[in-house]
């Protein structure tokens, strides 16, 4: 927790009735930072955003902006602007009226409002559309009007609630970069909610992965992608392949014992708090080197042997479904291998994510307070009911 | 409609003709049931003399119209009373229905369904005993025979339309539209005035029209509470009809019919399906 936090969320809990949606959540966001809240539906990311905006009343905890406690303030007095997933444009007002409404509220003279609305329209490529009603706009234009309406009031914090999810895929890629560029140009602090990991990584300075009302991991896109703090984060960030292994910690390395379908391997701990015992290994399909079983190994790492079951072309690479013993995994290769081919999969040590398998007693995870969320996230007893997203 | 129409192409034209006989009969009967009495009413308004066994009036003319609209004729007074009471009823009903409807649509009220049903209670009991008792009560507190007394009776009667439709109108507005205004700096009242109210206006207008029409047509309450000091158009219609003065009765009926039809057209235009689907929910 850095002390120059602009938006500081302390021990925030939110519950609807008996359901706890957020549980003692802490998050600090610096001025000018773009933070993406990433998670599956029901993880509480939208609830967190709405709590920041002031539409959800927390049962405990505090939200402060620039040192000022805003927890009990109504939404209109928080100096934030929320862009809704549905855009929530007012159908009875023209585009210019929609964008200028916040300025009218501030009591600006009409000429100043018109000038600012013109600037915003030019900034977002909406020039000439000011007289139209939202109903006469395309999805992408509506999205920009919603963004313009929020930007017009010059908010301290811009809140974005899945603003791209109603756009079609190609426009989404374009708007993603537009919003990011705009945010950097204007230097606005932004909190963006999304369930799309690529979108989160492309837009944000910092990605906050949420799981069941808690933060599973917060870090730069690179950290989240390459050093996931828990099996959940690894899986969410695309490391869907899972293997159960056994390992012993020896100094700075963990030694993985050879099994029926895999060879022994030495993996550097690299600062990870792993204990000897049952391990859950996770890796991405594209991290694997796939070869025929008799080819000479090209890289160091954990070697698995199995049979190809199915192949499909993804564009750029062939995705093979490979059965390792009883476990199916996916592996990508530039060339396809026929089904039933015996193959060897090599996973380089730096691309193999290892986690201690939670034991039934829930005591396997080391009690380490510096990474509280990482350990909590792996405990099955902490997994709570999916809440309203 | 498409099925018999498409069968025309496959089968002979005879099948079509046979199909149309019962249909034409039913449609004709329906038209007669709806428009027969109306035609009769229209004829009576311009009939100078009309008696049995003549199928149509013997003499036509507008002398009864002149009598109804004469400066000292009580029809104009009744029309004025009716319009005044109906307008005041709309005003009072909407003043109550807008906050009530908003609360019922937006807030997590306990027993919401019970509250909505409660507004139906004035309609649920037989009018006659209720209004006789209301009249007795109003007589004691000096409200009997006054315009406010009649307005009060009409408001209890019309509130169910006002509140139900207003609730539906507010419920049909996406809450995020209000939240969008709140999030960029509008206070709760300001957001209501600038966003919610304009968007609910068509539904509220429709509810106002329903209340207006209900008040215009209301008879029992007007009779027991208003008469003989406050005379309303339906009372005039009743006494004219009971006295065998069909011309006067028809002309006042026509006067009642004109706003009804006008408002029906407005309702049809403004009451959208998204509001209608939420009535009573």
Convert the pLDDT of each residue in B6-16 to its tens digit: 444 455 555 66
Which residues in chain B touch residue A82, judged by CB atoms under 8 angstroms apart?
179-180, 183
A389 pLDDT above the threshold of 50: no
Q: Is the CB of residue B185 less than 8 Å away from at least one CB of chain A?
A: yes
Cβ contact, residue pair B183, A105, below 8 Å: no
Count of structural domains within chain A: 2
pLDDT at B236: 77
Q: Which domain holds residue A285?
A: 231-358
Domain boundary among A200, A226, A252: A226
Residue A369 falls within a domain, yes or no? no
My answer on whether A199 and A267 are in the same domain is no
In a domain, B66, yes or no: no
User: A88 and B199 in contact by Cβ < 8 A?
Assistant: no
Question: Considering its fold, how many domains does chain B have in total?
Answer: 2
Q: Verify that A217 and A276 share a domain, yes or no.
A: no
Min Cα separation A212/chain B (Å): 25
| Same domain (yes/no): B78, B195 | yes
Q: ipTM value of the model?
A: 0.78
Measured from the Cβ of residue A324, the count of other Cβ atoms closer than 10 Å reads 20
Of the three residues A190, A209, A226, the one that is the final residue of a domain is A226
Q: Same domain for A160 and A174?
A: yes
Find the CATH number of the domain harbouring B231. 1.10.3720.10
CA angle B280, B123, B131 (to 5 degrees): 155
CB contact under 8 A, A75 and B183: yes
Q: Is B139 contained in some domain?
A: yes
**Given a cut of 90, is residue A268 above it in pLDDT?**
no
Same domain, A191 and A278: no
Rounded Cα–Cα distance for residues B99 and A212 (Å): 38
Q: A180 with A235, same domain?
A: no
* Range of the structural domain that residue B269 is part of: 73-276
B67 Cβ under 8 Å from any chain A Cβ? no
Q: Decide which of A168, A197, A226 is a domain's last residue.
A: A226
Same domain, yes or no: A120 and A147 = yes
For residues B188, B194, B196, B197, the Cα torsion angle rounded to the nearest 10 degrees is 120
Do A158 and A294 lie in one domain? The reply is no
Same domain, residue pair B202 and B165: yes
d(CA A163, CA A199): 11
- Per-residue pLDDT, averaged over B177-191, amounts to 92
Check which CATH number belongs to the domain holding A162 and give it: 3.40.50.300
Mean pLDDT of chain A: 85
**CB spacing of A91 vs B181 below 8 angstroms:** no
Smallest CA–CA separation between B153 and chain A, in Å?
A: 36
Looking at the structure, tell me whether residues B141 and B215 fall in a common domain.
Answer: yes
Query: Does A88 lie at the interface with B, CB-CB under 8 angstroms?
Result: yes
Answer yes or no: is B247 within a domain: yes
Q: Which of A160-164, B64-68, B158-162 has the lowest mean pLDDT?
A: B64-68
Residues B21 and B114 in one domain: no
Percent of chain B with pLDDT over 90: 15
Note whether B193 contacts A: Cβ–Cβ < 8 A. Answer: no
Which residues of B fall within a CB distance of 8 Å from A90? 177, 180-181, 195, 199
Query: pLDDT at residue B5 above 50?
Result: no
**Are both A257 and A170 inside the same structural domain?**
no
pLDDT one-digit tens code per residue, B141-167? 887 888 888 898 889 888 888 888 899
The answer on A125 and A30 residing in a single domain is yes
């Amino acid at each position: 927790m850095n002390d120059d936090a602009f938006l500081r969320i302390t021990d925030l809990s939110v519950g609807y009735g008996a359901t706890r949606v957020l549980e003692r959540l802490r998050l600090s966001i610096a001025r000018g930072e773009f933070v993406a809240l990433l998670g599956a539906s029901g993880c509480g990311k939208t609830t967190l955003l709405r709590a920041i905006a002031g539409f959800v009343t927390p049962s405990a905890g505090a939200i402060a902006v620039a040192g000022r406690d805003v927890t009990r303030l109504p939404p209109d007095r928080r100096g934030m602007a929320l862009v809704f997933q549905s855009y929530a444009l007012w159908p009875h007002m023209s585009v210019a009226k929609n964008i200028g409404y916040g300025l009218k509220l501030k009591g600006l003279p009409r000429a100043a409002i018109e000038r600012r609305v013109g600037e915003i329209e030019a900034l977002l490529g909406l020039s000439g559309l000011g007289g139209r009603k939202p109903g006469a706009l395309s999805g992408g234009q509506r999205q920009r009007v919603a963004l313009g309406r929020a930007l017009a009031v010059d908010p301290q914090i811009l809140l974005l609630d899945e603003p791209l999810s109603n756009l079609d895929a190609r426009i989404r890629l374009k708007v993603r970069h537009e919003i990011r560029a705009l945010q950097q140009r204007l230097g606005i602090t932004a909190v963006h909610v999304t369930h799309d990991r690529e979108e989160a990584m492309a837009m944000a300075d910092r990605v906050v992965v949420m799981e069941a009302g808690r933060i599973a991991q917060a870090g730069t896109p690179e950290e989240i992608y390459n050093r996931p703090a828990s099996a959940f984060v690894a899986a969410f960030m695309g490391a869907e392949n899972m293997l159960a292994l056994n390992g012993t910690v020896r100094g700075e390395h963990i030694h993985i014992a050879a099994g029926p379908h895999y060879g022994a391997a030495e993996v550097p701990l690299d600062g990870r708090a792993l204990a000897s015992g049952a391990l859950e290994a996770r890796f991405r399909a594209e991290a694997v080197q796939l070869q025929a079983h008799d080819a000479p190994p090209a890289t160091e790492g954990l070697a698995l042997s199995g049979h190809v079951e199915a192949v499909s072309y993804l564009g750029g690479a062939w995705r093979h479904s490979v059965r390792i013993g009883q476990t199916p995994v996916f592996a990508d290769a530039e060339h396809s291998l026929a089904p039933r081919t015996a193959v060897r999969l090599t996973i380089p040590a730096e691309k193999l994510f290892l986690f201690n398998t939670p034991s039934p007693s829930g005591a396997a995870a080391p009690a380490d307070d510096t990474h509280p969320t990482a350990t909590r996230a792996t405990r099955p007893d902490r997994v709570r009911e999916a809440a309203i997203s | 409609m498409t099925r018999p129409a498409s069968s025309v192409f496959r089968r002979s034209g005879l099948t079509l003709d046979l199909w149309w006989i019962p249909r034409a009969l039913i449609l004709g009967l329906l038209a007669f049931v709806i428009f027969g009495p109306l035609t009769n009413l229209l004829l009576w308004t311009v009939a100078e003399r009309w008696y049995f066994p003549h199928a149509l009036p013997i003499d036509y003319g507008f002398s009864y119209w002149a009598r109804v609209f004469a400066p000292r004729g009580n029809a104009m007074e009744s029309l004025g009373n009716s319009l005044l009471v109906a307008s005041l009823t709309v005003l009072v009903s909407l003043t109550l229905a807008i906050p009530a409807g908003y609360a019922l649509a937006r807030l997590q009220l306990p027993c919401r369904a019970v509250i909505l049903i409660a507004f139906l209670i004035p309609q649920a009991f037989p009018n006659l005993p209720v209004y006789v008792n209301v009249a007795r009560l109003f007589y004691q507190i000096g409200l009997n025979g006054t315009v406010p007394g009649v307005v009060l009776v009409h408001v209890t009667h019309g509130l169910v339309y006002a509140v139900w439709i207003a609730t539906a109108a507010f419920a049909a507005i996406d809450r995020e539209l209000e939240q969008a205004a709140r999030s960029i700096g509008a206070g709760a009242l300001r957001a209501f005035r600038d966003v919610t109210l304009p968007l609910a206006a068509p539904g509220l207008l429709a509810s106002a029209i329903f209340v207006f029409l209900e008040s215009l047509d209301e008879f029992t309450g007007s009779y027991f509470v208003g008469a003989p000091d406050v005379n309303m158009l339906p009372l005039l219609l009743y006494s004219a009809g009971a006295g065998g003065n069909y011309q006067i009765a028809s002309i006042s009926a026509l006067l009642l019919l004109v706003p009804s039809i006008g408002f029906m057209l407005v309702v049809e235009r403004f009451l959208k399906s998204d509001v209608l689907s939420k009535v009573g929910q």
